[in-house]
């Protein structure tokens, strides 16, 4: 007997973009709406229940920090719907979107970012994976599909941004510092800073800053670093810096980095 197995279509991820000049997105999200309709101008037939949505705030005229500010889930497919009554007051006066029936998907909020948890546009622009986000190339649209690689990177960043660095992450930061010691610190793809950023799920600028924190701790380097490192940074520095020999224990550091995060050039 032949058994037919029906495979479920994999859920997709999207960026839904909002402009603060048109709609006060921050104020509306602060009300914790139980569900929210969102305009859909493209891909209406592809957006499905269960899909993940990253809500992206553009900069607007008041120079808001652009980037991902919330996560949501599609709970009803695209259909002609009115704007939600609780959202109407947050539209700019005279906006047709507030009063007209439009194609909209229905979303359920999963999480709204605190200020330090926003995934910033400039971080994405320098990221080897996220620099290809479609909304960075075509900023005027509303709905953008994400590739599996972009989704994976964005998901990891979303889970780590805003959290204090752990001891294991600090080890990775020190490894990047050791690789760049005495020379320039580049943020370009395939450099130690970019490698660590992708390996540990942090923004490239965050890893760069961590490298500068270790430069501040290093008595051998007279160049300016960055103060404000964490207690975890200090403990990791003390573990791997030999004060008598005035040098890093590079072999031990390499072994610990490889144990925690894989060696240079390896895939995680």
pTM of structure: 0.90
pLDDT score of 124? 97
pLDDT score of 131? 96
Residues 6+ apart with CB under 8 A from 21: 60, 61, 62, 92
Confidence of residue 4 (pLDDT cuts 50, 70, 90): very low
End-to-end CA distance of the chain: 42
Nearest residue to 193 via CA among 220, 164, 223, 214 = 214
DSSP characters over 33-56: -S-EEEE--S-TTT--TT-EEEEE
Confidence of residue 98 (pLDDT cuts 50, 70, 90): confident
3-state secondary structure of 225: coil
Q: Which residue ranges make up each domain of the chain?
A: 13-146, 167-261
pLDDT digits (tens, 9 = 90+) for 7-29: 445 789 999 999 999 999 999 99
Two tokens at 65?
Answer: 């920090």
pLDDT score of 3? 39
Two tokens at 180?
Answer: 């760049």
Distance CA 18, CA 150 (A): 20
pLDDT score of 18? 94
- What value does the CA radius of gyration of the chain take, rounded to a whole number of Å? 22
Two tokens at 48?
Answer: 């499905």
Distance CA 36, CA 72 (A): 10
pLDDT score of 99? 87
pLDDT score of 7? 41
Two tokens at 175?
Answer: 């490894």
Strands 67-81 and 52-57: antiparallel
Mean pLDDT value across residues 33-38: 94
Class for domain 13-146, per CATH? alpha beta
DSSP characters over 124-146: HHHSTTGGG-HHHH-TT-SEEE-
pLDDT score of 33? 94
């Amino acid at each position: 007997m032949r058994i037919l197995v029906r495979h479920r279509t994999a859920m997709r991820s999207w960026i839904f973009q909002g402009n603060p000049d048109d709609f006060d997105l921050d104020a509306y999200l602060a009300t914790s709406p139980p569900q929210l309709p969102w305009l859909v101008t493209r891909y209406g037939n592809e957006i499905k229940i269960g899909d993940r949505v990253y809500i992206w705030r553009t900069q607007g005229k008041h120079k808001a920090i652009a980037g991902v500010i919330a996560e949501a889930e599609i709970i009803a497919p695209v259909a002609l719907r009115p704007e939600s009554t609780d959202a109407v007051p947050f539209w700019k006066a005279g906006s047709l979107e507030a009063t007209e029936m439009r194609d909209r998907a229905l979303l359920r909020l999963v999480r709204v970012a605190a200020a330090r948890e926003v995934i910033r546009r400039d971080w994405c622009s320098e990221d080897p994976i996220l620099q290809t986000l479609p909304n960075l190339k075509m900023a005027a649209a509303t709905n953008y599909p994400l590739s599996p690689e972009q989704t994976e990177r964005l998901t990891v960043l979303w889970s780590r941004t805003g959290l204090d660095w752990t001891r294991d992450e600090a080890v990775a930061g020190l490894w990047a510092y050791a690789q760049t010691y005495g020379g320039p610190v580049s943020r370009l793809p395939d450099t130690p800073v970019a490698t660590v950023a992708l390996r540990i799920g942090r923004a490239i600028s965050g890893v760069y800053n961590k490298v500068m924190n270790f430069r501040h701790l290093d008595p051998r380097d007279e160049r300016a670093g960055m103060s404000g490192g964490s207690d975890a940074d200090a403990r990791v520095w003390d573990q791997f810096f030999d004060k008598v020999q005035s040098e890093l224990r590079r072999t031990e550091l390499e072994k610990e980095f490889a144990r925690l995060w894989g060696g240079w050039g390896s895939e995680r």
